[in-house]
């Protein structure tokens, strides 16, 4: 609230002191003094009386890109956690500023990423080739020269008090914009890393207030790359609250999902796009989970095909000798994971984090070179799963877990639960809320469109 009055500052201050307005001395009860506080600012022949501490909904802008499903999932998890913890104290925007405001190549990163991960050698070359700071620094500076104004326009539209980046290319240019606007100390900028172990060096920027790391391995990389200890926090990977805090009963879930109530179940994941050797693995599992002597199954299978409708149709057309559920894209993965006893998936960080929360032993059957490669030793080294690309070997391991090697299955389940960090997303938003509190009452951030970025760049 701002009130403009035409009066001399000394006279007005005297009146405030007499009535005891907080900030100007005077009498009155301490409770009354704490209710309201004013500051006076001279401007020409008028003065502004600014009420401090008035509650105001804070704008939070979460920067993400759909280059893989994990960035959006983390952004939406953070958004939901803010709403659960703080209600309408924060107004949350989840945006791909690159797609909405810039031109090529930034506005087409999603399709470029999908193309490159289908040609893994190309992606591996791009990931490792741009890792040295001098290379990606030049690349990002060149992009900033073209698109900093567009990014600035995007930031101005949402006027964020807090910016959260959940993508490695969402630090450098927005921070340049804040520097040019003189807002580095007024806007809280934090990074939430969504890779569990090996991550690209563009994740680490010394200008952020916080860098939230999902593991100790990533925090060590952050410190080696120049961040200070007080910038780094290790809370885990943010998983959506509806999953992280779900209270589930396996018996009830199996009735709800129409699964066999007795047979152990394996969950075979194809990712959001239904990629990987899903069909070959499903066939191998169906064969290995059938007792050849009795002709009866000793396990059942759930296959998640994602958006791959052709794969789902192909699997549904087959005749199975064990109980099989074929599903498309699922939004209730906490239920399917809660109903199963182990999971087969590629080494995506989000799926791994969710599987750990549900206490599932993990069989990793593939990974994207670069950011996912380190997830394999993260799972295997902590005794939460195994790695094999062979469908037959995968089927053999599951058959053993469901029969003679059940002790190993139980031990890996315990290790998964130890490694899980279900409160990570809440720890992150609470720390950001504390940062906002330390900053004091947030005044309206003065975003003004600048005329040129030439000198800055």
Q: For the ranges 47-56, 133-142, 252-261, 401-410, which has the lowest average pLDDT?
A: 47-56
pLDDT beyond 60 at 39: no
User: pLDDT tens for residues 65-88?
Assistant: 888 778 999 999 999 999 999 999
- Asked if residues 303 and 327 have their Cβ atoms less than 8 Å apart, the reply is yes
Give the pLDDT of residue 349: 94
Question: Structure pTM?
Answer: 0.83
Q: pLDDT-based confidence at 450, cuts 50/70/90?
A: low
User: pLDDT tens for residues 193-246?
Assistant: 999 999 999 999 999 999 999 999 999 999 999 999 999 999 999 999 999 998
Give the pLDDT of residue 144: 81
Name the residue with higher pLDDT: 30 or 240: 240
Q: For the ranges 48-57, 291-300, 343-352, 371-380, which has the lowest average pLDDT?
A: 48-57
Write out the E strands in 308-422.
324-327, 342-345, 362-364, 385-387
- Asked if residues 340 and 248 have their Cβ atoms less than 8 Å apart, the reply is no
pLDDT beyond 70 at 442: no
| Beta bridge partner(s), residue 234 | 213
Give the pLDDT of residue 276: 64
H-only helix segments in 48-161: 69-86, 97-101, 109-118, 120-129, 133-158
pLDDT beyond 60 at 286: yes
Give the pLDDT of residue 103: 80
Q: For residue 194, what are its two tokens?
A: 């969504």
pLDDT beyond 90 at 334: yes
Q: Per residue in 230-245, is it b (16+ CB within 10 Å) or e — as a string? A: ebbbbbbbbbbbebbb
pLDDT beyond 70 at 390: yes
Q: pLDDT-based confidence at 435, cuts 50/70/90?
A: very high
The secondary structure of 406-419 as a DSSP string is HHHHHHHHHHHHHH
Q: pLDDT-based confidence at 33, cuts 50/70/90?
A: very low
Instruction: Provide mean pLDDT across the span 345-359.
Output: 95
Name the residue with higher pLDDT: 54 or 61: 61
Q: pLDDT-based confidence at 104, cuts 50/70/90?
A: confident
pLDDT beyond 70 at 50: no
Instruction: Provide mean pLDDT across the span 123-131.
Output: 88
pLDDT beyond 90 at 20: no
Highest mean pLDDT, choosing among 143-157, 168-182, 361-375: 361-375
Q: What is the 3-state secondary structure (H, E, C) of 135-168?
A: HHHHHHHHHHHHHHHHHHHHHHHHCCCEEEECCC
pLDDT beyond 70 at 1: no
Q: pLDDT-based confidence at 92, cuts 50/70/90?
A: very high
Q: Residue with structure tokens 């925090």?
A: 219
The DSSP secondary-structure symbol of 364 reads E
Cα→Cα distances 282→48, 101, 353, 430, Å: 71, 43, 23, 42
pLDDT beyond 60 at 7: no
- Give backbone dihedrals phi and psi of 416, rounded to 5 degrees, phi first: -60, -45
Name the residue with higher pLDDT: 177 or 451: 177
Coil vs helix vs strand at 352: helix
Average pLDDT, the chain: 85
The CB density around residue 324, as the number of other CB atoms within 10 Å, is: 20
Nearest Cα to 71, choosing from 227, 232, 198, 191?
191
Q: For residue 68, what are its two tokens?
A: 């893989």
Q: pLDDT-based confidence at 447, cuts 50/70/90?
A: low
Terminal C-alpha separation, the chain: 37
- Please state, for a pLDDT cut of 70, what percent of the chain lies above it: 83
pLDDT beyond 70 at 55: no
The size of the chain, in residues, is 457
Q: Per residue in 24-55, is it b (16+ CB within 10 Å) or e — as a string? A: beeeeeeeebeeebbebeeeeeebebbeeeee
Q: What is the 3-state secondary structure (H, E, C) of 176-237?
A: HHHHHHCCCCCCEEEEECCCCCCCCHHHCCCCCCEEEECCHHHHHHHHHCCCCHHHEEECCC
Rg (the chain; Cα; Å):
27
């Amino acid at each position: 609230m701002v009130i403009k009055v035409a009066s001399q500052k000394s006279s007005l201050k005297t009146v405030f002191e007499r009535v005891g307005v907080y900030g100007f001395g005077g009498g009155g009860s301490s409770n009354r003094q704490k209710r309201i506080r004013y500051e006076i600012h001279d401007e020409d022949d008028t003065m502004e009386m600014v009420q401090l501490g008035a509650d105001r909904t804070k704008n939070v802008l979460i920067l993400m890109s759909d280059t893989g499903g994990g960035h959006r999932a983390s952004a939406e998890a953070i958004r939901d956690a803010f709403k659960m913890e703080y209600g309408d104290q924060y107004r949350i925007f989840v945006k791909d500023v690159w797609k909405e405001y810039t031109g090529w190549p930034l506005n087409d990163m999603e399709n470029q990423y999908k193309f490159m991960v289908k040609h893994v050698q190309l992606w591996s070359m791009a990931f490792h080739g741009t890792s040295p700071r001098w290379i990606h620094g030049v690349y990002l500076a060149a992009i900033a020269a073209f698109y900093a104004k567009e990014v600035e326009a995007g930031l101005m539209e949402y006027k964020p008090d807090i910016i959260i980046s959940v993508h490695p290319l969402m630090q450098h240019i927005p921070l340049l914009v804040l520097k040019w606007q003189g807002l580095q100390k007024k806007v809280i900028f934090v990074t939430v890393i969504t890779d569990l172990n090996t991550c690209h060096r563009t994740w680490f920027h010394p200008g952020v207030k916080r860098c939230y790391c999902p593991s100790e391995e990533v925090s060590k990389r952050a410190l080696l790359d120049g961040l200070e200890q007080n910038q780094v926090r290790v809370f885990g990977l943010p998983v959506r609250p509806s999953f992280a805090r779900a209270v589930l009963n396996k018996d009830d879930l199996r009735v709800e999902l129409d699964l066999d109530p007795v047979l152990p179940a394996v969950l075979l994941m194809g990712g959001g796009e239904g990629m990987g050797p899903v069909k070959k693995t499903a066939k191998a599992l169906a064969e290995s989970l059938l007792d050849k002597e009795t002709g009866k199954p000793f396990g059942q299978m759930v296959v998640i095909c994602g958006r791959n409708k052709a794969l789902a149709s192909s699997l549904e057309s087959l005749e199975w000798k064990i109980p099989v559920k074929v599903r498309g894209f699922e939004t209730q993965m906490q239920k399917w994971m809660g109903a199963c006893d182990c999971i087969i998936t590629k080494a995506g960080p989000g799926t791994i984090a969710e599987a750990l929360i549900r206490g599932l032993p993990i069989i990793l059957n593939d990974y994207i070179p670069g950011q996912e490669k380190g997830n394999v030793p993260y799972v295997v080294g902590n005794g939460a799963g195994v790695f094999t690309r062979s469908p037959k070997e995968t089927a053999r391991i599951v058959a053993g877990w469901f029969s003679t090697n059940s002790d190993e299955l139980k031990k890996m389940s315990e290790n998964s639960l130890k490694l899980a960090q279900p409160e990570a997303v809440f720890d992150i938003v609470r720390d950001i809320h504390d940062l906002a509190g330390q900053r004091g009452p947030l005044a309206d951030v003065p975003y003004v469109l600048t005329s040129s970025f030439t000198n800055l760049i």
